[in-house]
Amino acid sequence: MNTMDNSHDASGSTPVLRLQRLDADLPLPVRAHPTDAGIDLHAAHDCNLAPGHRMLVGTGVAITLPAGFVGLVHPRSGLAARAGLSIVNAPGTVDAAYRGEIKVNLINLDPTDTVHIARGDRIAQLLIQRVELWDVAEVEELDQTDRGTGGHGSTGGHARLT
Ligand SMILES: O=c1ccn([C@H]2C[C@H](O)[C@@H](COP(=O)(O)OP(=O)(O)OP(=O)(O)O)O2)c(=O)[nH]1
Ligand SMILES: [Mg+2]
């Protein structure tokens, strides 16, 4: 495989993510099932997260994406349900031109229990999506719409606060 060619495979076959392992002893990130959306990312080191605490955890991998694509670092629902583990900036944005190690800003949202992460644990999942790159043009006025400036619950039906 030509490691310099980072173009998206337009032939109709599954695109290939060019991924560099910065830590050869960690497992290669893969999809748990062939059609899963996310590629599971592993923790590069142990960490203990007390309730409410957060930590930037390396994954030991770097990737190359062509322009027009983005990597999104999503939490894993099992860890969220079982341990209250999430990601501070979910989903994290991995820019196409970023060549550094992908890191995950984990946070323990459980009110009472510490979360123990071991090196090699699957802590997050990477989704790759197309993204449109828009230029910005400043205007004096915006077009009129029915919604106008109404937002943040303007249509009602939201939960009551106690
Ligand atoms: O969960 C994440 C989010 C980001 N990144 C890396 C890749 C991304 O391309 C870079 C910058 O991310 P972002 O643009 O979200 O952060 P920023 O605070 O705007 O930093 P910068 O000024 O470097 O753009 O950090 C990660 O490794 N993991
Ligand atoms: Mg940025």
Q: Quote the pTM value.
A: 0.92
Over the stretch 113-157, which tens digit does the pLDDT of each residue have? 999 999 999 999 999 999 999 999 999 999 999 999 999 999 998
Which atom of ligand 1 has the smallest separation from the CA of 105? 1
Residue 14: the pLDDT is 86
Residue 2: the pLDDT is 45
Residue 10: the pLDDT is 52
User: Among 93, 104, 107, which residue has the most ligand 1 atoms within 8 Å of its CB, making it the best to mutate?
Assistant: 93
Looking at the chain, the whole-number percentage of residues with pLDDT higher than 90 is 88
Which atom of ligand 1 has the smallest separation from the CA of 102? 27
Token digits of residue 11: 């032939």
Name the closest-CA residue to atom 17, ligand 1: 93
Token digits of residue 135: 């230029």
Which atom of ligand 1 has the smallest separation from the CA of 73? 1
Question: Is the model's pLDDT at 3 over the cut of 50?
Answer: no
Residue 113: the pLDDT is 98
CB atoms within 10 A of CB 51: 13
Question: Is the model's pLDDT at 34 over the cut of 60?
Answer: yes
Q: In what order do the strands lie in the sheet with 85-87?
A: 54-58, 103-108, 85-87
Q: Is 78 annotated as a binding residue?
A: yes
Residue 103: the pLDDT is 99
Spatial distance between the Cα atoms of 57 and 160, rounded to a whole number of angstroms:
37
Question: Is the model's pLDDT at 20 over the cut of 90?
Answer: yes
Question: Is the model's pLDDT at 18 over the cut of 70?
Answer: yes
Mean pLDDT over 57-78 rounds to 98
Mean pLDDT over 51-59 rounds to 98
Looking at the chain, the whole-number percentage of residues with pLDDT higher than 70 is 93
Tell how far the Cα of 114 is from the centroid of ligand 2, in angstroms. Answer: 31
Over the stretch 71-112, which tens digit does the pLDDT of each residue have? 999 999 999 999 999 999 999 999 999 999 999 999 999 999
